[in-house]
Every structure is written in C-alpha cells, then in structure tokens.
Amino acid sequence: MKTQVIHRIPLSLKVMAVFEKVRGLHGELVFPSPHKQVPLTDMALTTLLRRVEAPSTTQGRLATAHGFRSTFRDWCSEQGYPRDLAERALAHLIQNKVEAAYHRTDLLDQRRPMMDAWAGFVAGELPAK
C-alpha cells in the first residue's frame, strides 16, 4: 500500500474459492510470477492487458489496471452504495484531517455484502440494478 497503512479486505466467497484452487501451489505466494515464482510486479496486470489488447469502454483505448478501480467506484455509485464504503474499499484516505481523526473504522463488516455483490457482477451472475 502506498500509504503504508494496513488495508483489510472482506474476501467474497468467489475469491475464497479461487484461493482454495491454488492452495499449495506455492509455499508463500497466492499468485507468483509463472516463470521465476517470485511476487508479481505492479505492472503484471497492465502488461497482460496490453498483450491481449483488452478493449476499454472508452472508444479507441485499451483497458488499464487502474480502470478496474475506476469501474468499481462507478459501479458502487450506480448501485447506491454509500461513498464511505466505496472509498474504504479502495483504501482511499479521508483528506479532511478533522474528519479523519474521528472516523477511524474501516467498515469491514459493512463492506462484505458490497464486495460479494461486486464479485457476482464481475462474474456476470448479477445484473446491474
């Protein structure tokens, strides 16, 4: 994390199923690099998206790793999730120092249903509201 602050994530059942499938394939890493078995770099997803020429929803552009975050944020708004939940899910910090001093929760339990719904949406199982 850029902020060096611990970011807890409520994992959906779909994510847990993926983790179960890869359990034991590597001693420490969930998704190691395929050749050297070391941690993937921050450019791994971007490189893959470029290699497969993944289209963006923006005409004439390719998808980007940051675009996934942006898509999630838009989806949260469109689904009516509170701003605080979406911002916490993205590990965004509260910029107002007074507000940040009084709002220290990461809203983990409240984010669980949102992340389950997002997993279903991404998997194509849940239509947008």
Model pLDDT for residues 37-62, shown as the tens digit of each residue = 898 887 888 899 999 999 888 888 88
Q: Is 32 helix (H, G, I), strand (E, B) or coil?
A: strand
Distance, in Å, from the CA atom of 43 to the CA atom of 83, rounded to the nearest integer, reads 28
* Boundaries of every domain in the chain: 22-63, 66-122
Q: What is the pLDDT of residue 72?
A: 94
Contact 12, 6 (CB under 8 A): no
Residue 5, both tokens? 């602050």
Q: Which residues contact 10 (CB under 8 A, 6 or more apart)?
A: 108, 109, 111, 112, 115
Model pLDDT for residues 19-39, shown as the tens digit of each residue = 999 998 888 888 888 888 898
In this prediction, residue 128 has a pLDDT band, given cuts at 50, 70 and 90, of low
- The single-letter DSSP state of residue 119 is H
Model pLDDT for residues 83-109, shown as the tens digit of each residue = 999 999 998 877 788 877 887 788 999
| Of the candidates 79, 56, 53, the residue with the CA atom closest to the CA atom of residue 67 | 56
